[in-house]
Structure 1
Amino acid sequence: MAAQDKTADIEILAELERKVLWLASWTIHNANHLRESADGLKVGGHQASSASLATIMTALYFHVLRPQDRVAVKPHASPIFHAIQYLLGNQTRAKLEAFRAYKGAQSYPSRTKDTDDVDFSTGSVGLGVAQTLFASLAQDYVRAHGLLGARPEGRMIALVGDAELDEGNVFEALLEGWKHDLRNTWWIVDYNRQSLDAVVREGLYERFVGIFEAMGWQVVVVKYGTLQQAAFAEAGGDRLKAWIDSCPNSEYSALTFQGGGAWRKRLMDDLGDQGDVSALIARRSDADLSALMTNLGGHDLPALIAAFDGIDHDRPVCFLCYTVKGFGLPLAGHKDNHAGLMTTAQMDLLRTAMAIRPGREWEPFEGLSTPAGTLSDFLARVPFRAGGSRRLSDPALPVPALAPPPNATLSTQAGFGLILQDLARGNSPLANRIVTTAPDVTVSTNLGPWVNRRGLFAERALADVFKRERIPSTYNWDFSPSGQHLELGIAEMNLFLMLSAFGLSHSLFGARLIPVGTLYDPFICRGLDALNYACYQDARFILVATPSGVTLAPEGGAHQSISTPLIGMAQDGLAAFEPCYVDELAVLMGFAFDYVQRDGAGVADERNWLRDETGGSVYFRLSTRALEQPKRTLSDDQKRHIVDGAYWLRPPGPNCEVVVAVQGAVTPEAIAAVGMMAEDRRDIGLLAVTSADRLNAGWTAASRARERGRSEAESHVERLLAPLPRHCGLVTVLDGHPATLGWLGSVHGHRVRALGVEHFGQTGTLQDLYRHHGIDSAAIVAAAQAVAPGRPIRHLRAL
């Protein structure tokens, strides 16, 4: 670009920066002070945190970014993002006016709830940052497998608040990026040296530089703007620069808030009577001095553009951009400005400074000196908008029939591995798009056979040393660009962030992948924030959590999950299943491979009242307990019932007194208990629950539909329990929290006794722990006697 053209573009960018800052500030002001409030709650919006990124985001969106680049915006910069999208024509005035209101622009950027081209949802700090790293790995995987096509590689960019770097998951991700030869990733740190409640500790930036460089990143420090650089070149400028470099963060922030007079007094106190530097200060008015001292690199378009345009490689880069929190606003620099709002009087002063006429606050080019036509032409040719829609897609893959293994005795965990191994033997389009991952538990979660056949992914081929040295080993650990498994270190946050990134590959890169991640069930809790984040983004993946419950008896309480069935029920965007038998698992895996690819209109199916047309992710809670497998061929009705959440293992008779509803590995105990009770009770039923989550979601949806006038709405669980007489009692049991199934009595008003695990486990045998927690056959029989106190059960006393 010619120097003259570049100067003209800088001038236009400076105009747009002013407009972006105004629109973001006005959007927040309108939401808090002008829009009618029905409940009187403070709306908020983070005017100061937004302002610190106005210059950086202007440089990015209007100059640097290309259509293939993807950005995770700092959560509190959401208003700046929406203002930029408004100028680019991707956001509406109505959405801005409804900022933080129902159906309006969201508080934090959201892929699923915002309409203005959000790449990555942000909100829980630190997660969006790490997401860009794993998205870059996903792009490398897609490219290595020849799925990127003619599309160029993009940069995965995170706009990072410096306080976000307090989050441990960021540094866990850094290490994983180093292991996988990270490329095409930029993290741009908004180094305003303020957090939510305080000023950042001195010397922190040196620590950041050391950490990033140790992980193979280039660090670019953008500290001084062009005004400061020019002043440093003047006589005495070296002493001014030294003063700036040694000034504590809290002092710099306070002086920024106080303004030019305070700057002059402090600088003259510290540097006065030193000849050249005193003259340098004296040549500037208070306003000019304030402008000079706050002209940090993160607020200087030429300095930023030089830094961004200077990168000519694909190594990861961390830009450490010095900024002022609240830059350009009356709140600038104050340590309490994080949640602060400008008053109406302050907003009027800003309006005057921006030359905004009353009534024209939302006009895109109001107050700018450049002609509207020139600005429109500039916005029409920014590189970022050149490619049209940036939400890509890829057709769904056909799902082959999945047959359960023929083993007479098998656990669901082993069955999962064998079903996946059978897929690995073939060459179906689905098998070729499956990518597996695990946090260092690949073998112990039965992914080993899959990896033996499909290999591990790496940018460069690396042979298995044990194989090369002819040392016998069950597993073949060959790394290559064609591999389909990514091995992670022991960090569950990284697992869920990787599943999230790979589960968005169809939308980000136009190449559909089917991510399958495995981990120990209790350790879901270690990554819950990232799991919730992945589902909030509508990422599509299959999570296989195994082993689970106190059924992992010898491992003790630290490895025995209790609450995870409730997590499966409560987590939006995640369909949770806990099969007992492997033929059930085969049916459910076939459903899952299809379900994660659905993206329909979301109209409820009147058969089950679940929003299956929309699809989502899937969670399997599996067990290492080997069970005798039933010799049966499942009918189409049984398969549908398994998918919908439950089916009758023993249908109840017309005079049923007790029904046992069981989920998962304790099914043999339920079968034994029903067998004993059947000698004394009439028409006992045994309900095999494969998904408490699906049963509950369908019941809730059908109830809501009836309340809205759809009298015919009836869920699967309502149909299953409808034939039971009112005197029938329910006993529910699972190796997990009893509340998972305890609600079943509310469906039709039956008495219920919910059995499960409420306390931390301990080591022991299955029999020891099932008896200790009251989920063995004797406990089930005793519960049946309590909930349906008819004729005494003869075996109860003996048990």
Structure 2
Amino acid sequence: MSSKISYLSEIERCVSWLAAWTIHHANHIREGDEVKVGGHQASCASLSTIMTALYCSVLRTQDRVAVKPHAAPIFHALQYLAGNQTREKLENFRGFQGAQSYPSRTKDVDDVDFSTGSVGLGVAQTLFSSLVQDYVSAHGWMNDRPEGRMVSLIGDAEMDEGNIYEALIEGWKHGLRNCWWIVDYNRQSLDAVVREGLWARFEQIFTNFGWDVVILRHGSLQEAAFAEPGGDKLRQWIEKCPNQLYSALIFQGGAAWRRRLLDEVGDQGPVTALIERRSDEELQALMANLGGHDLPSLLKAFEAASRHDRPVCFICYTIKGYGLPLAGHKDNHAGRMTPTQMEGFRQQMGVKPGQEWEKWAAATTLTEELDDFVARAPFFREGRRRRSAPAIPVPPALPSPGQPGKPLSTQMGFGQILNDIARGDTPLAERIVTTSPDVTVSTNLGPWVNRRGLFARESMADTFKDERIPSIYSWELGPKGQHLELGIAESNLMIMLGALGLSHAINGARLLPVGTVYDPFIYRSADQLNYACYQDARFLLVATPSGVTLAPEGGAHQSIGTPLIGMSQDGLCSFEPAFVDELSVIMRFAFDYMQRDGEGDPGETTWLRDQTGGSVYLRLSTRPLEQPARQIDPDLEQDIINGAYWLRRPGPNASIIIAYQGVVAQEAITATGLLAEDRRDIGLLAITSADRLNAGWQAAERARQRGAVGAMSHIERLLASLPRDSGIVTVIDGHPATLSWLGGVYGHRVKSLGVEHFGQTGTIADLYRHHGLDTNAIMHAAQAVSHGRTIRYLEALS
């Protein structure tokens, strides 16, 4: 153990130096602009010991870690010492294409397991990733690989984030295992010092949810001092000392500790002797020797917890800015060492000028020994740990349950398509896993669960079935179930989808996650959705019901701006079909698109980078529409995927076209029919994805700017034949800005109809009339747009 501690101590020195130097270089040496680069030298320093112990001794290659966002430079430094990070990237920390401000699994070259940055989300991610590992293991897809431990390094201020406690509830319900949360309890947040006694509240909360709680308050130096005569009084004083005072004395140093201790506990006897036996420097070292900075204490605690699979919360007392001249100061969160302070720190660490970027510049041990020690660490010895899994074959077509002339909603069609898939013994059916925040039945997942069952690590009886109580739902709970039921917390849904959608990279087992949610409540989990997409997790998000079309439910259940989320969210491909045959085509595309991970140039049909894949968002409705009588040929299928097709192609003299998206198809079709009585060339454009149309248009324009003068997007081809003085009326049960940009493609006049204000209860007819989505409103808009054409025509004649 002593040799291990010696090596780890040397590594910690080098990590602390490199992290501090990386931030200093970015702010004071590298050429930049007037905007500060930033960094968090103090927040890094508080985790230097913990992360060194974990990465260089405790963690195994199968373990996965979410690093506290502000400790990114410590992570990058450790990866640099292990050969997984480059000096070039460190020199460009927080610069363009340099090491990222916060660990990113998609943008950093080193071995990031989970992206972090939005505080608290990486914490919950590890919990759900552990549950996903249980799912994969129960289905026999681990391929004899050992189960990993999901570890989160947490700033104590992150514990204010509510989604952490929502996740705790879900973990308890599902029998969480193999999860460690390590709290960097430095007692300082961005703006303040943490409230007294918070650790006791943490301990109680975690214990209540079945976690083991390990508190590392005192290091081995302090424990040794406590064993000396008078040590019990020193312990009592430390444990009663207010957080603010402890931080202030750490900043002031040994002389301040001496004055305070002698004044408050000195007795001219054992305690005084204990204090006087130590120099100011030794006294400062003693009082800074908290559990989170003591390698022997950390290794002992981590190794003990490694002997079982119960979830563990480690509360590690640390010092913000440990070892730096900023240590303990309440303003140190965004503070950075001045050049003078950095020079003093360089001399303190024994780093020679010009050798600041050398891996072992701060070490006092032979560097070959340190290189060998790190290379043999279980976490690093197999190199990069990103796994992969083969794609699951998707059939050429999915069933389309709609019958011509019969009314059917897209929500109902979604449930029937999944039910048809569930009937088959196919790889696609086997790898689909569904999840929902207590809206399984109301989002039409019930038939799927009837056939495929609920997941639980242990089989559970259906009491209603055992008691012979009739029910249309026969939901078996057991290890082979394929539905993960969640409580009413949309944030948990999105983080679960993120965890399921990374299983191929984390567990080496491909899953096809499908999550359902009420469309308006996407807002409640928008940050978590963004986080899942930022990590490049792959999933199908089915949001239903949507819009004011859910008329009797009132404004609280009626979404307005969610189509704009679908358009603007990177990594998420958004669709809103009107008919079930469109939905079938889109779902087939989605299951394939979720698995793509290719590279290359954009396709010249849409100019979209479809080969890279991503996640998919479907906005569906409960309103039944009469299904069209048609066969989906390959051309129409491709147009549906590309984002739009002509339901009625405009003639050469079209004065007006109507473009609709989603459930308002019926009103748009009726209005077109009535207008066609005196405007025979009128066109009707069925839009299935404003997102893909807009993205393709933007991409084609960028291609033209780069010299591809013939680049043309799908929407440009569709609108190319329209006379320039034609008008466009757009209509959607959502914000009108979703489609208003169509006028910018060729400069056509546009009148955009949609919803801009909260709805209310009523019938669909009531609400469509109130918000201007009904047939009359569409016809009035068409008259207004075409009236502008008439005026210009008369002006031209005069």
Question: Residue in 1 aligned with 2:100?
Answer: 106
User: Aligned to 1:769, what secondary structure does the other structure show?
Assistant: helix
1:273 Cα deviation after fit: 2.1
- Structure 1 residue identity aligned to 2:342: M
CA distance in 2, matches of 1:377, 1:153: 26
- What is the correspondence of 1:544-583 to structure 2 with a 5 Å cutoff? 544-583=542-581
Question: Deviations along 1:621-669, whole A, 9 cap, x unmatched?
Answer: 0000001100110111100000000000000001101100000000000
Specify the alignment match of 1:623 in structure 2. 621
User: Once the two structures are superposed, what CA deviation does each residue of 1:27-85 show, in whole Å capped at 9, x if it has no partner?
Assistant: 00000000011x21110110000000000000000000100000000000000000000
Superposed counterparts of 1:244-393, under 5 Å: 244-311=238-305, 312-393=307-388
2:744 match: 746
User: What aligned pairs does 1:66-465 form with structure 2 within 5 A after superposition?
Assistant: 66-311=60-305, 312-400=307-395, 401-407=397-403, 408-465=406-463
Q: Is the 8 A contact 1:602 1:612 kept in 2?
A: no
Q: Distance in 2 between matches of 1:731 and 1:227?
A: 76
1:493 matched to 2:491? The reply is yes
Q: Which of residues 45, 49, 61 is equivalent to 1:55?
A: 49
CA distance in 2, matches of 1:652, 1:403: 31
The one-character-per-residue Cα deviations of 1:64-110 (angstroms, maximum 9, x if unpaired) are 01000000000000000000000000000000000000000000000
Contact 1:596 1:616 survives alignment (8 Å): yes
AA aligned opposite 1:322? Y
Which amino acid is the alignment partner of residue 401 of structure 2? P
Residue equivalent to 2:29: 34
Alpha-carbon separation, structure 2, partners of 1:488 and 1:382: 38
Is the CA contact (8 Å cut-off) linking 1:463 and 1:477 kept in structure 2? no
Q: Write out aligned runs for 1:518-529 (5 A).
A: 518-529=516-527
Report the Cα offset of residue 406 of structure 1. Answer: 3.9
TM-score, normalization by structure 1:
0.98
The offset of 1:415, in angstroms, is 0.2
Match of 1:695 in 2: 693
Counterpart code for 2:606: N
Q: 2 CA distance for matches of 1:791 and 1:343?
A: 67
Tell me, yes or no, if structure 1 residue 466 matches structure 2 residue 464: yes
1:680/1:791 contact within 8 Å kept: no
2:575, 2:619 within 8 Å by CA — same for their partners in 1? yes
Structure 1 counterpart of 2:316, which letter?
A: C
Whole-Å separation in 1 of the counterparts to 2:622 and 2:641: 22
CA distance in 1, matches of 2:249, 2:711: 65
Alpha-carbon displacement from aligned partner over 1:568-611 (angstroms, at most 9, x marks no partner): 00000000000000000000000000000000015210111011
Amino acid at match of 2:40: H
How many angstroms does 1:365 deviate by?
1.2
* Residue 791 of structure 1: how far off its partner (Å): 9.7
Rounded to whole Å, the distance in 2 between the matches of 1:376 and 1:204 is 40
The corresponding residue for 1:3 is none
Aligned-partner Cα distance in 1 for 2:714–2:447: 37
The match for 2:597 is 599
Partner SS for 1:339: coil
Instruction: Give the residue type in structure 2 aligned to 1:368.
Output: A
Equivalents in 2 of 1:790, 1:714: separation in Å?
28
Contact 1:157 1:188 in 2 (8 A): yes
Distance 1:114 1:93 in 2: 13
- Is the 8 Å Cα contact of residues 152 and 182 (structure 2) preserved in structure 1? yes
- Alignment correspondent of 2:474: 476
Alpha-carbon deviations, 1:510-562, whole Å to 9, x = none? 00000000010000000000000000000000000000000000000000000
Counterpart residue identity of residue 359, structure 2 = P
Aligned equivalents of 1:398, 1:296: Cα separation in 2: 54
- SS state of the match for residue 379, structure 2? helix
Structure 1 ranges of 4+ moved more than 3 A: none
Cα distance, 1:790 vs structure 2:
7.2
Partner of 1:709: 707
Distance 1:566 1:720 in 2: 22
Partners of 2:62 and 2:296 lie apart in 1 by 24
Aligned-partner SS, 1:44: coil
SS in 2 for 1:220: strand
Quick one: distance in 2 between partners of 1:704 and 1:13?
Answer: 51
* Aligned pairs, number: 786
Distance 1:508 1:658 in 2: 52
Aligned to 2:796: none
How far did 1:727 drift? 1.2
SS in 2 for 1:306: helix
1:675 equivalent to 2:670? Answer no
Write the deviation string for residues 102-152 of structure 1: whole angstroms up to 9, x where unpaired. Answer: 000000000110010100000000000000000000100000000001110
Contact kept? 1:661, 1:687, Cα under 8 Å: yes
Give secondary structure in 2 for the equivalent of 1:618: strand
1:45 is aligned, of 13, 35, 39, to 39
Could you tell me how far apart the structure 2 residues matched to 1:365 and 1:534 are?
36
Are 2:664 and 2:733, in contact at CA under 8 Å, matched by a contact in 1? yes
Kept in 2: contact 1:462–1:480 (CA 8 A): yes
What displacement does 1:367 show?
A: 3.2
Q: Distance in 1 between matches of 2:202 and 2:381?
A: 35
TM superposition shift of 1:389? 2.6
- TM-aligned CA deviation for residue 430 of structure 1: 1.0
CA distance in 2, matches of 1:457, 1:269: 62
Residue 795 of structure 1: aligned partner: none
Q: What SS does the aligned partner of 2:695 have?
A: helix
Moved more, 599-608 or 277-286: 599-608
Give the Å deviation of 1:463. 1.6
Paired residue secondary structure (2:450):
helix
1:336 positional shift: 0.4
SS of 1:771's partner is helix
Moved more, 82-91 or 269-278: 269-278
1:25 is matched with 20
Other structure's SS at 1:710 match: coil
Distance in 2, Cα, partners of 1:695 & 1:129: 36
C-alpha deviations, 1:371-413, integer Å up to 9, x for none? 1111111112111112233111011111122021044221000
Give secondary structure in 2 for the equivalent of 1:613. Answer: helix
Report deviation, 1:682.
3.2
- Name the SS of the counterpart of 1:659 in structure 2: strand
Q: CA RMSD in A?
A: 0.8
Q: Which runs of no fewer than 5 residues in structure 1 stay unpaired?
A: 1-5, 793-799
For the residues of structure 1 that align with 2:661 and 2:294, how far apart are their CA atoms? Answer: 61
Whether contact under 8 Å (1:227, 1:292) holds in the other structure is yes
